[in-house]
Amino acid sequence: MRVVFLGTGSSLGTPMIGCTCVVCRSDDPHDKRLRASLYVESRSERILIDPGPDFRAQCLHHGITQIDTFLITHPHRDHIGGLDDTRAVYYAMDKRPLQFYAEDFTLEGIFKYYDYLFPREGNSHYHGAPQARFQHIEAFRSFATMKNKVIPLRGWHGSMPVTGFRIGRLIYLTDVKEVPAETAAFITPDDVLVLGALQQQPHAIHFNLDEALAFVEQTRPAQTFLTHIGHRMGKQADLEAQLPANVRPAYDGLVIEI
Q: Where are the domains of the chain?
A: 2-257
Q: How much of the chain exceeds pLDDT 90, in percent? A: 97
What tens digit of pLDDT does each residue of 209-246 get? 999 999 999 999 999 999 999 999 999 999 999 999 99
The rounded distance, in Å, linking the Cα atoms of 238 and 15 is 17
Give the pLDDT of residue 192.
98
Q: Output the CA angle 167-170-163, nearest 5 degrees.
A: 65
What tens digit of pLDDT does each residue of 111-162 get? 999 999 999 988 888 988 999 999 999 999 999 999 999 999 999 999 999 9
Per-residue b or e along 5-34, where b marks 16 or more CB atoms closer than 10 Å to that residue's CB? bbbbbbbebbbbeeeeeebbebeeebbbbb
Give the pLDDT of residue 133.
97
The rounded distance, in Å, linking the Cα atoms of 194 and 227 is 7
Beta strands in 17-74 (DSSP E): 37-42, 45-49, 69-71
In 82-208, where does DSSP find H-type helix? Answer: 86-92, 104-113, 181-184
Give the pLDDT of residue 78.
98
What tens digit of pLDDT does each residue of 14-24 get? 999 999 999 99
Contact 223, 16 (CB under 8 A): no
Q: Is the pTM of this model over 0.95?
A: yes
Closest of 172, 227, 233 to residue 48, by C-alpha: 172
Give the pLDDT of residue 123.
85
Q: Which CATH class is domain 2-257?
A: alpha beta
User: Per-residue confidence at 184, pLDDT binned at 50, 70, 90?
Assistant: very high
The rounded distance, in Å, linking the Cα atoms of 137 and 208 is 28
